[in-house]
Structure 1
Amino acid sequence: MEVIFSTNLEQEAKMKVCQALGNIQKVNQGKYLGLPMVVTGSKQQLFGYIRDNIQQRLKKWKNKLLSAAGKEVMLKSVAMTMPTYTMSCFKMPKKICKEINAVMANYWWGEANGRNKMHWRSWNKMSLGRKDGGLGFLDLEAFNTALLGKQVWRLITQPNLLVSKVLKDKYHPKQSLLKCKVARNAS
């Protein structure tokens, strides 16, 4: 077992807690449920693993052997679902979302002789619904905002949950969630 401490806690207190818990180890970095346990540094580096995982997964699939329908199913069912849990907890940087979109677009259009083929349609247009002339791929930035909005809705509609109480006490103890300013230390 491992434990994470606030940076505000003194080193001596950290050691006492670890000993009281049976010589438990202090964690500096790691993942829990696929998410980083310590959120520090550049978000580009922190969430870059999602882009890399999607890229690795797409490299394993034989692009030339799949029809357009097969590629669509693979992208929608696997590549677009991989960042869902992370995006429901964190605001992903726009650059990472764009890079993931670029990886998926490159897979969609394919490559020849080690170079990406011509993209005949922008990914933004392919992200439109079928009735609007697109293929219904997710707009990752909008999807991220929707997932975070769902979390906010849960905090507003269920204020008696433990997570609602903790977040209220930490980030907006004196006013409504919708009226408070974003704290500098907010994740």
Structure 2
Amino acid sequence: MVVQDRTSICEFLGMIEEDKNDKYLGLPSILGRTKSALLGYLKEKVMTKVQRWDGRWISKGGKEVLIKQVAQTIPSFAMNVFLLPLEITKEIERVLSKYWWNQGSTQKSGIHRMSWERLSQSKA
């Protein structure tokens, strides 16, 4: 569509032409080929929330509530609209599990469990 046609339609309808980098309802209005770059802000939002909580002595119950009610709801609306790239979901999962198992920012190493692949193997 030609730019003149687009602007004339917007003027006729009384609308404002939106910039390509604008967001609508918190989501990018135009997606390109790399959804990871456009939806990477979700990972950053979760990381900033978790970094604010880190260093505070919160009980396991409190951590569970923070993770379930705050951190996991950040990407939920975007997940209703878009299929999130696997790298973003794995990074969010990594940040949340690191927060869950670490005791605080003073201790750099928390409880290390076995990987899910090893835990899910059959006993035989």
Is the structural similarity TM-score above 0.5?
yes
Residue in structure 2 matching 1:65, options 47, 54, 57: 57
Deviation at 1:41, TM superposition (A): 4.0
Residue in structure 2 matching 1:45, options 17, 37, 40: 37
TM-score by structure 2 length? 0.79
Q: How does 1:93-108 map to 2 (within 5 A)?
A: 93-108=85-100
Pairing 1:21–2:13 present: yes
Q: Higher relative contact order by CA 8 Å / sep ≥ 6: 1 or 2?
A: 2
Q: After the TM superposition, list the runs of 4 or more consecutive aligned residues in structure 1 that deviate by more than 4 angstroms.
A: 122-125
Residue in structure 1 matching 2:48, options 34, 50, 56: 56
> Partners of 1:21 and 1:95 in 2: how far apart?
41
> Partners of 1:123 and 1:34 in 2: how far apart?
35
Specify every segment of 5 or more residues in structure 2 that has no aligned partner in the other structure, as ranges.
Answer: 118-124
Secondary structure of 1:24's match? coil
Residue in structure 2 matching 1:11, options 3, 6, 10: 3
Secondary structure of 2:56's match? helix
Q: Is this contact kept in 2: 1:30–1:36, CA < 8 A?
A: yes
One-letter amino acid of the structure 1 residue matched with residue 47 of structure 2:
Q
> Partners of 2:58 and 2:116 in 1: how far apart?
23
Q: Is this contact kept in 1: 2:55–2:105, CA < 8 A?
A: no
| Superimposed CA distance per residue, residues 66-92 of structure 1 (whole angstroms, 9 cap, x where no aligned partner) | 011111111011111111111011111
Deviation at 1:112, TM superposition (A): 4.1
> Partners of 1:120 and 1:34 in 2: how far apart?
36
Aligned to 2:122: none
Pairing 1:92–2:77 present: no
Residue in structure 1 matching 2:74, options 72, 75, 82: 82
TM-score by structure 1 length? 0.55
Aligned to 1:168: none
Aligned to 1:36: 28
Deviation at 1:13, TM superposition (A): 0.8
Secondary structure of 1:26's match? coil
Instruction: Specify whether residues 31 and 124 from structure 1 end up closer, same or farther in structure 2 by C-alpha distance, changes over 3 A only.
Output: farther
Instruction: Specify whether residues 120 and 60 from structure 1 end up closer, same or farther in structure 2 by C-alpha distance, changes over 3 A only.
Output: same
